[in-house]
Structure 1
Amino acid sequence: MAVPVASIPTPTTAATVVASNPVARPFLKWAGGKGRLLSQYEPFFPTSCHTYYEPFVGGGAVFFHLANRVQRAVLGDINPELVNVYRWVRDAPRALMAKLEHHKRHHSPDYYYHIRQQHHLPLPLDRAARLIYLNKTCYNGLYRENSQGQFNVPVGRYKNPGICDPDLLWAASSVLQRAQIVETPFTEILQQPLTPQDFVYLDPPYHPISATSHFTGYSRYGFGPADQECLAQVFRQLAERGVRVMLSNSDCEFIRSLYEGFSMHSIQASRMINTNAQRRGKISELLITSY
């Protein structure tokens, strides 16, 4: 069910504390994050928009980059634990940081695996702190779930992981005050009251271009060819309504065929997820726009 944009919360007292570093940026490490590609994306971003929509929010790099250009935002994801984290960063960063400081004091490989096995914590605050702690201390900053929805990444080798960064969290909380955060499938965006003054960015799990590039483990649900085809239909329907839409995905024949007729731009990205470091390197991706 779509949530009306009018229900976007007003800033809370706790979240309006001014950070010493006011530049908001992602507070999670995220596979496929767009932080390093923003300079290539910049020519295609609108200079302003009324409401920004991002149904696959992930690490939120594009949202944080555009936050000062938008009046409000609707950020969504199908992963309930990720949505929970964003809501706690927005609404109660002080309480969240207290939990993270506890994790920071106790961090060790044994403590990591103790926390990792706590798959069904009853309190949302504890679950939010757990996700950030595991994200900051797991191998390669990789978020991956098994078929039961359980986080299953081994501990990373970090001398001093940044488990709790108050400035980072306060800055993120500040810009998230203008955001509605929803747990919903991407298809629900068609139910939103979009106008040509709005902007939609779609960053789905990429279509694999080889056997070793197949990674859809952000949630238990996966994202296959049928999902890609459904997403392309959503893209076309939004474009037909005059909404400005941008999508990133693999540069391959399948994706190009789905978005035939739209503007396609080649982006040079670094392939970071591979157990063999020699197979990491530059790869061409697609940035597709309806305008």
Structure 2
Amino acid sequence: MKQQYEQILVTPKPFVKWAGGKRQLIPILHQNLPGAFGTYYEPFLGGGALLFHILTDKNGQKCSISDLNSDLVLAYTTIRDRIDALISSLKSHEKNYQKDSKSYYYSVRESNPRNEVEKTSRLIFLNRTCFNGLYRVNSKGKFNVPLGKYTNPNIVNEENIRAVSSILQTNRISIKCRDFESVLRDAKKGDLVYFDPPYQPVSSTANFTSYTTKDFTYDDLTRLAELCLKLDSKECHVLLSNSDSKEVSDIFAKKPWKITRIEVNRSINSNSKKRTGHFELLIKNY
């Protein structure tokens, strides 16, 4: 029992590095949360930085989280339900990686395990060892990022994933694999819906939108904007993160939206000099 208590004392953090992850923006996001809200919804879950912050800050908070990436959703449920088997599998990856990192990495990248624990273990292993910790799949749905240059990557990170498992078990959280529009059926007056979709490109070369095999297009952004208005008419609190692009500014230019421009660092840019001096938008209706 003592061990379980100690696990929860460790503040859970995202167990995967995700493009557009929000860990560094938590203080700003926290300031922009409504004072009180019902259920917390996050339909583009990704690394879940804000989710873990809210769960740590508000014990017993009811949450409904989802993503269209089925491997990612499986990872959350596996960490919640099968933590010991997952840690054992990750330790095995770590051991084999230390023997011959290059050939082992590419053999795991090529593999396609059917077992749920092995699938999640593969996702975490690749995320920890691939170039810049970037999750990306090609049009056929195959993970296609090369090996990263790490001397000693933290593949298992047991303390954190046990903390994640504990907090997912102790709180009232539902985890689903579904399209973001499904949230409209469930969200009620006073609930908070946070959208952190793949961002609109700010330039012709900045077109990373493929977390899943289906790109997040301008049409999807329009769908999202319409959904936000529907949620607003249901008197839900709506909070949205997106790129500082003309398309996003234009589509959310009118009431009820309030737009704040915030400075961010990009931890996933391969050129460290290009990681600073970026801006993104925070949009809300309250």
Shift of residue 24, structure 1, vs aligned partner: 1.3
* 2:132 equivalent in structure 1: 140
* 2:279 equivalent in structure 1: 284
Which residue of 62, 66, 74 maps to 1:76?
A: 66
* 1:158 equivalent in structure 2: 150
In the TM superposition, 1:75-224 aligns within 5 A as: 75-107=65-97, 108-118=101-111, 120-177=112-169, 178-192=172-186, 194-224=187-217
* 1:65 equivalent in structure 2: 53
Distance 1:228 1:113 in 2: 35
1:14-52 Cα distance to aligned partner (Å, 9 max, x none): x96641742111111111100011112221113443311
5+ unaligned residues in a row in structure 2: which ranges? none
Please tell me the residue identity of whatever aligns with 2:108: I
1:30-86 Cα distance to aligned partner (Å, 9 max, x none): 111000111122211134433111000000001001113262111111011001101
Distance 1:95 1:17 in 2: 20
Aligned length: 276
Percent identity of the aligned residues?
39
Shift of residue 184, structure 1, vs aligned partner: 0.1
Superposed CA RMSD:
1.7
Equivalent position SS for 2:208:
coil
Counterpart check, 1:254 vs 2:244: no
* 1:39 equivalent in structure 2: 27
Distance 2:107 2:214 in 1: 25
Distance 1:212 1:282 in 2: 17
Equivalent position SS for 1:154:
coil
* 1:22 equivalent in structure 2: 10
Shift of residue 253, structure 1, vs aligned partner: 1.8
Distance 1:18 1:53 in 2: 28
Distance 2:155 2:217 in 1: 33
5+ unaligned residues in a row in structure 1: which ranges? 1-12
Give me the TM-score of the superposition, normalised by structure 2.
0.92
Shift of residue 125, structure 1, vs aligned partner: 1.1
Please tell me the residue identity of whatever aligns with 2:114: P
Distance 1:38 1:247 in 2: 14
Moved more, 19-28 or 161-170: 19-28
* 1:269 equivalent in structure 2: 264
Cα distance 1:164–1:275, how it changes in 2: closer, same or farther (>3 A)?
closer
Moved more, 224-233 or 272-281: 272-281
**2:133·2:268 contact (CA, 8 Å) conserved in 1?**
no
